[in-house]
Amino acid sequence: MVNLARGTRDFLPDQAAARHAVIARLRTVFSRHGFEPLDTPAFERIETLTGKYGEEGQRLIFQILKRGEGGERGEVDLALRYDLTVHLARVVAMNPGLRMPFKRWQIAPVWRADRPAKGRFREFWQCDCDIVGSTEPLADASCLAVAADAFATLGFRQYTIRLNDRRLLSATARAAGVGADLEIGLFTAIDKLDKIGRDGVDRELAERGIDEAARARLWRILSITGDRDLVGGPHPRDAVVAGLREALAGVEAAGAALDEVVQVASLAEAMGVPSGVILLDPTLARGLDYYTGPIWEFEVEAPKVGSLGSGGRYDGLIGVFGKTAVPAVGTSFGLERIVLVMEEHGMLPARDDAPQVLVAVFDAANPEPAARAAAALRRRGIRADLYTGTAKLRNQLKYADAIGVSWVVIAGPGEAARGAVTLKNLGSGEQVEVPLVDLADRMVSHGITPVEQSPHPS
């Protein structure tokens, strides 16, 4: 029996339409915020991706066999897109004339050879907005503002933005007496707080060689937090700021980093992020090691699907293919999780692309009247499905019901001779003969909205 590749899915019409509708809304929001579209290929030369995602990520890259002789020896030369950020870095390196700051969005599938699990797929879509070429907190805030607008436009009323900063995490490590050499291990462990809890993280920190006194100092700082599991409820942002300012007072540059995070949050609020949404959370770590400044994650309480997206500042990555460092900050949404949450909460928009009327074929030997009726409706911008099978009229009405249309046009030979068709409402059962030239207008008068006038020439 034929089957899908592991970790991949088909999207049948209703699901595909829902995803398209969400993507369309995101695109509207992204361009409303001045981001511009960029499209990059699905695969890259393998050396472009190699060494960019850490050891763990490297193993998850899908590699493409060389064509010809090299392939016979098992050699690979291409790799499938793993995220959208490395591609952006390549585009920036290859297009020195790009206007800076360069604000781009990209919505595209990425592929990772992860072990498939509930909600985890090998093909999934990322929706990214990034600003390249600016170190200003206004750029970071812009990434939070576009995210908040996206959530609002999609109908999200309850979500939080957990905000932290890599420099604050480093300062926390310093203040606790953890050396710079253990820092990445520390971040990686803290990043698991949601999954393995405080005891699990503490055990991992001990295994990584952080002694008990340092761990106690660490937990004291991390408890100045918005994390529910640690303190029973989020602290107001001001309280977290004050607590951190005191706890990190002795660490160089911690105060400046804290000021900047606060500025990012308040600029984001000036740009429309609702107050109360942004929580300052010293326990937010983010696994990827390329972040250099503010970092964030978007979360909903229920259903528990992990973060809906995340982002942060990464001033070291974009320059990787060029000669100079290029600062950048960006935010990314996971389409699958967003659609999942919207589905569970009944937030998915109603389909606006499904047929509005079915034109039935009264006599399969003479379908021309039906063809003319369908053309008349489409010319007016009405979405008209024309039945192309051979079922009896009764079964065509069932088909109409199944595709969710309540209007059926029947073009029988009698009506055709009079230049007319029969218009039937499946709900009321009423039917009426209408001149073909009036058909489309009649549908519109019944509340069928034509979507876009077709400039169809005939």
Quickly count: other Cβ atoms within 10 Å of residue 215's Cβ: 18
Build a one-symbol-per-residue string for 139-178: x at contacts with a copy of itself by CB under 8 A, - elsewhere. x-xx--x--xx--xx-x-x---------------------
| HEC profile of 81-116 | CCCCHHHHHHHHHHCCCCCCCEEEEEEEEEECCCCC
What is the rounded distance in angstroms from the CA atom of residue 76 to the CA atom of residue 279?
45
Using CB under 8 A, which of the segments 65-73, 178-186, 244-252, 302-310 binds a copy of itself? Answer: 65-73
Inter-CA distances, 449 with 97, 357, 374, 384, 455, Å: 45, 11, 16, 12, 17
**Residue ranges in 385-444 that form contacts with a copy of itself under rule CB under 8 A:** 385-390, 399, 402-403
| Per rule CB under 8 A, count of chain residues that contact a copy of itself | 120
Q: Which is nearer to a copy of itself, 243 or 381 (CB)?
A: 381
Q: Which is nearer to a copy of itself, 31 or 425 (CB)?
A: 31
What is the rounded distance in angstroms from the CA atom of residue 165 to the CA atom of residue 168?
5
Using CB under 8 A, which of the segments 16-24, 165-173, 178-186, 251-259 binds a copy of itself? Answer: 16-24
Shortest CB 368 distance to a copy of itself, Å? 5
Sign of torsion over alpha carbons 98, 104, 106, 112: positive
What is the rounded distance in angstroms from the CA atom of residue 176 to the CA atom of residue 168?
12
Cis peptide bond prior to 13, omega within 30° of 0: no
**Residue ranges in 355-384 that form contacts with a copy of itself under rule CB under 8 A:** 355, 358, 361, 364, 367-368, 370-372, 374-375, 378-379, 381-384
**Residue ranges in 253-282 that form contacts with a copy of itself under rule CB under 8 A:** 266-267, 270-275
Inter-CA distances, 292 with 12, 139, 257, 260, 354, Å: 41, 14, 11, 13, 46
Q: Which is nearer to a copy of itself, 285 or 357 (CB)?
A: 357
Q: Which one of 51, 56, 94, 209 is in contact with a copy of itself (CB under 8 A)?
A: 94
Q: Which is nearer to a copy of itself, 184 or 371 (CB)?
A: 371
Shortest CB 55 distance to a copy of itself, Å? 14
Say whether residue 100 binds a copy of itself (CB under 8 A). Answer: yes
Quickly count: other Cβ atoms within 10 Å of residue 22's Cβ: 24
Q: Which is nearer to a copy of itself, 189 or 421 (CB)?
A: 421
**Residue ranges in 296-335 that form contacts with a copy of itself under rule CB under 8 A:** 321
Of 39, 35, 33, 6, the residue nearest 108 (C-alpha): 39
Q: Which one of 22, 26, 53, 62 is in contact with a copy of itself (CB under 8 A)?
A: 62
